Amino acid sequence: MTKYVIHGGKPLFGEIDISGAKNAAVAIIPAALLVDGSCRIENIPQISDVTLILNILQELGADVRTVNRTTVDVDCSHIRNARVPEELARKIRASYYLIGALLGRFGSAEVPPPGGCDFGGRPIDQHIKGFVAMGAEVDVRGGFIHARAEKGRMQGTHVYLDIVSVGATMNIMLAAVLAQGMTVIENAAKEPHIVDLANFLNSMGADIMGAGTDVIKIRGVDRLSGGTYSIIPDQIEAGTYMTAVAAAGGEVLIKNVIPKHLECITAKLLEMGVEVEERDDAVLVRRTVKLTRTNVKTLPYPGFPTDMQPQIAAVLCLAEGTSVLTEGVWDNRYRYVDEFRRMGAQIQVDGKIAVIEGVDKLTGARIQACDLRAGAAMVIAGLAAQGTTEIGCIHHIERGYEDIVRKLSGVGADIRVVVTPDEDKQSQVG
């Protein structure tokens, strides 16, 4: 078993560099399927979800070459098949983008239902509604989603999303880029990774307007050709380190960010008494005083991101007074709360609402990451806690955080990776 062992209670000082955005990379890499030629993709984060999506493309016949630590060349000119391997696809959420990309390029796709973090139900009915409106036949059999463009090519149309969905917005965009005619997505999601995917596709010859607003128009083109593109910095990774400083105290310059993308997080930290100074491509975060309570509700962008909900909860656990946290996107994103309670947190959950009574201190405990951001939040709680925290199931965290142990050690955290062959050895750690 591999776990993180953290000796907490040390403030953080120094600088952290932010990597490329997970949720942009895992859409842009499959988008290379639409391109006739080689795409050089820069600022790729080294995380397990990226490795998996690159492996899937290779299985389909793509030529994937590593240029350096953060750059890959992906050439999908000679794709052999449109059936995605089940064991790989089920491990990540982003495998759903293969439906849109394969439909767009070949007019057919066979993709297993996606995996990803467990928040209760994660339907993809809005993706399918879009594909059907664009002339695809979609059915699920034998554990695969089978999709086929009835006219051989997707047809542009109007799609109104019943719910603001990041995945459906990007998947329909992928299916529409090479479609016949114009596709209009109404009630589209506006997250930074949606704009990044549109910018990538436009740089390869697509004709997409309005990404970042709630109406996106995609005029189908006959062909995309290769080029070079650099992925945006990860809003959520940056926000995670901002909240780590808020919880543990200290002063850290978080570099290679787009401060505009962080405003929804900055606003809440300011309310809690954390100082945040925006620079051109960095934010300086400083926490010297006791944290004060606040309320947070997660919403689609530009609201407070649901992918920051567990991390802000870790901070609220240490704020003076009672805070109300409302999850506005997912039905069940509080599975981490029992683990926080082991550390002395006082949290009551009722449906989508968590009421958090701030405590003076958290204390180290043995806990298990239950998903990606919950795991990151446990790291934050461990950094702020007195004593030793051991976090198991860290593969969840490594889905989305490049070098988290190195980055935190670089600002003075006492965190290390410990590999133990069995439970008996675990008890000797710390």
Ligand X SMILES: CC(=O)N[C@H]1[C@@H](OP(=O)(O)OP(=O)(O)OC[C@H]2O[C@@H](n3ccc(=O)[nH]c3=O)[C@H](O)[C@@H]2O)O[C@H](CO)[C@@H](O)[C@@H]1O
Ligand Y SMILES: C=C(OP(=O)(O)O)C(=O)O
Alpha helices (H) in 272-371, listed in sequence order = 309-316, 337-342
Task: Return the amino acid letter for 421.
Answer: P
CA atoms of 93 and 48, how far apart (whole Å):
12
With CB under 5 to 8 Å by kind, the binding choice for 400 among ligand Y, ligand X, none is ligand Y
| Among the listed residues 217, 347, 400, 415, the single contact to ligand Y using CB under 6 A | 400
The percent helix, strand, coil of the chain (3-state, each to 5) is 35, 30, 35
Q: Is residue 127 involved in binding ligand X (CB under 6 A)?
A: yes
Q: Using the rule CB under 6 A, give the single segment among 144-152, 163-171, 238-246, 415-423 that binds ligand X.
A: 163-171
Return the residues of window 23-62 that contact ligand X according to CB under 6 A.
Answer: 23, 26
CA atoms of 252 and 146, how far apart (whole Å):
48
Cβ-proximal residues to 350 (8 Å cutoff; 6+ apart), any chain: none
Strands of the sheet containing 144-149, edge to edge, are 108-111, 144-149, 136-141
CA atoms of 196 and 31, how far apart (whole Å):
11
275 token code pair: 């100082």
| Among the listed residues 167, 220, 226, 392, the single contact to ligand X using CB under 6 A | 167
Q: Is residue 398 involved in binding ligand Y (CB under 6 A)?
A: no
State the catalytic residue, choosing from 76, 117, 264, 317: 117
| Among the listed residues 12, 16, 18, 23, the single contact to ligand Y using CB under 6 A | 23
| φ/ψ (deg, to 5) at 233 | -65, 155
- The residue number with the shortest CB distance to ligand X is 167
Give the three-class secondary structure for 320: strand
CA atoms of 132 and 185, how far apart (whole Å):
14
Closer residue to ligand Y (CB): 93 or 261 = 93
Q: How far is the CB of 235 from ligand Y (least distance, A)?
A: 10
Q: How far is the CB of 79 from ligand X (least distance, A)?
A: 22
Q: Using the rule CB under 6 A, give the single segment among 118-126, 278-286, 362-370, 387-395 that binds ligand X.
A: 118-126
Q: Is residue 314 involved in binding ligand Y (CB under 6 A)?
A: no
| Among the listed residues 98, 117, 161, 185, the single contact to ligand Y using CB under 6 A | 117
Active site residue 117: yes
- The residue number with the shortest CB distance to ligand Y is 116
206 close to 224: Cβ distance less than 8 angstroms = yes
Element (H, E) at 98: helix 97-106
Given the rule CB under 6 A, which residues bind ligand X? 23, 26, 93-94, 122-127, 163, 165-168, 189, 306-307, 329-330
Given the rule CB under 6 A, which residues bind ligand Y? 22-23, 93-94, 116-117, 307, 372-373, 400
Known catalytic residues are 117
